[in-house]
Structure 1
Amino acid sequence: MSKILIVSGHPNLPESTANKTALEAVKARFGDAVTVRELDKTRVNGKFDIAAEQKALVEHDVLVLQFPVFWYSVPSLLKQWIDDVFEYGFAYGTDGTALQGKKFLLSATAGAAEDIYQNMLPSELPPAFADYANTAAFTGMQLLEPLFSYGTTSDPGNTEAVHAIGVEHGKKLIAVLETLQQG
C-alpha cells in the first residue's frame, strides 16, 4: 500500500474555501492513512524544519502538492518549501536520490475561469506549471496527471459556489488517492 503525503501550500488555510474544503474531505475519507502537512503551520519565523520535511518525503511514496494558484504559479510559501527542502544531495545531485521513483501530483484550485489559463499557451499543463514537469524529471519523480479546479475566487456572494467546487475537487482528489493508495 502506497503512503501518501499531501503538502498544503495555502498561505492561510483556515481562511480558504476551496482548498480547505477539499482537504477536509480527504482527511474525513482517509484519516491517518494519508499525511497532510499544512505549510502555513509548519513554517516558523520564515523557516521550515528541513530535516523534518525531508524525513516526511522519504517516508512516503506519493507527494501531492495542494495549493491555490497565485499569479499563474504556486504561492510563495510552497515555492519556498520546494526551494528549501529539495536540496542538492537530497533531491538532486550525485547523492540526491531521495525522491526518485516517487509519484508526484499537482492538485490546484484557481480563482479565474479555465479558459484564462488554457488560452495562454498550448500545453498539457497550464503553462505556468510546466516547470513542475521539469522538477519531476530532474528529481526522478513520476508526474501524474494534474488536478485543477477553476472559478474559486472567494468574492462575497459566491461562497456557496466556491464551496461546491471545493467539494468536487475533494471528490476528484479522493478518487486519485484511492487508486494510488492501492499501489
Structure 2
Amino acid sequence: MKTLVIVSHPYPDRSNAIKSLENIVQGLPGVTVRNLESLYGDDMTQFDVAAEQAAYEGVERVIFMFPIHWFNLTPMLKAYLNAVWSYGWAFGPEGIALKNKEMLVITTAGATQFTYSKDGLINSTIDEVLTPMKSSALYVGMTYAEPIAFYEAMAPSVEKLNKFKQVIHERLAD
C-alpha cells in the first residue's frame, strides 16, 4: 500500500522515539516520509502548500507520526493541517483529494498508559485525546484506523524500540 508519512516533533533535537519510528518507516517499500521540521524548521507559515498537497497524490494511506504535545497535536502539525488541508482541496464542493484514503496516527507519549485511561490522571484515553484527528479524517472522507500509541517513550530502551519496530512492521504489512 503506497503510504505518505507526515512526521512532526516540536523538539527534534531531543526526539528519541519519534526519530527512531521515522527511521523504521523510512526504509519500507512504498513509503514516502515528509518531516515537517526538517523541511520547514520552526517556521509554521512557510509551507509549500502545492508540494505538500502533491505528496498525497496516489497514496492510499496517510500516517501522522508525532508525540502527544500537551494532550494535543504538535504546533507544527496543527499549522500544517490548517494550511494544507484547504477548502476545495480536502473538503468542500470539489474537495476529494483525501477521500477514501486511510489515516493512521502513530504517536508517542511520555506518560504511562494508565495516565491515558479513565482512571488515570487525565481521565481520558489516547483515543479521546486523538478525537480531533479522527474527526478531521471522517470530515474529509478518509477512513480512520485505530491509532498506534507508544507510552513511556521519553527515553526508550533498545528492547522497547525493538517492540515499537515490530508493531510498526506488523501494522504496515496490512
**TM-score normalized with structure 2 length:** 0.88
Which of 1 and 2 has higher RCO (CA within 8 Å, sep 6+)? 1
- Cα offset for 1:149? 0.5
- Distance of 1:113 and 1:8 partners within structure 2: 22
Alignment of 1:170 onto 2:159:
no
Percent identity of the aligned residues?
Answer: 28
Equivalences for 1:4-19 in 2 at 5 Å? 4-19=3-18
1:34 corresponds to which residue? 31
* 1:65 and 1:106 in contact (8 A); partners too: yes
- Distance of 1:12 and 1:58 partners within structure 2: 29
2:132 corresponds to which residue? 131
- Describe the shift of the 1:146–1:71 C-alpha distance in structure 2 as closer, same or farther (beyond 3 A): same
Name the amino acid aligned to 2:61.
Answer: V
State the secondary structure of the residue aligned to 1:165: helix
Name the amino acid aligned to 2:101.
Answer: K
* 1:3 and 1:61 in contact (8 A); partners too: yes
> Which has a greater percent of helix?
1
Q: Which runs of 5+ in 1 are unaligned?
A: 154-158
1:106 corresponds to which residue? 105
Name the amino acid aligned to 2:152.
Answer: G
- Cα offset for 1:152? 1.3
State the secondary structure of the residue aligned to 1:169: helix
- Describe the shift of the 1:165–1:78 C-alpha distance in structure 2 as closer, same or farther (beyond 3 A): farther
- Cα offset for 1:136? 1.0
Name the amino acid aligned to 1:142.
Answer: T
- Distance of 1:106 and 1:94 partners within structure 2: 27
Deviations 1:131-166 (A, max 9, x none): 21111110000000110010012xxxxx453x5433
* 1:3 and 1:34 in contact (8 A); partners too: yes
Deviations 1:48-77 (A, max 9, x none): 100000000123111000101110111101
- Cα offset for 1:26? 2.1
Q: Which runs of 5+ in 2 are unaligned?
A: none
Name the amino acid aligned to 2:56.
Answer: L
Deviations 1:88-131 (A, max 9, x none): 001111111110000000100000011111224466x5322112
- Distance of 2:123 and 2:104 partners within structure 1: 21
- Distance of 1:14 and 1:38 partners within structure 2: 13
- Distance of 2:156 and 2:38 partners within structure 1: 26
Equivalences for 1:54-133 in 2 at 5 Å? 54-119=53-118, 120-121=122-123, 125-133=126-134
- Distance of 1:122 and 1:112 partners within structure 2: 13
* 2:89 and 2:95 in contact (8 A); partners too: yes
* Equivalent residue pairs, number: 169
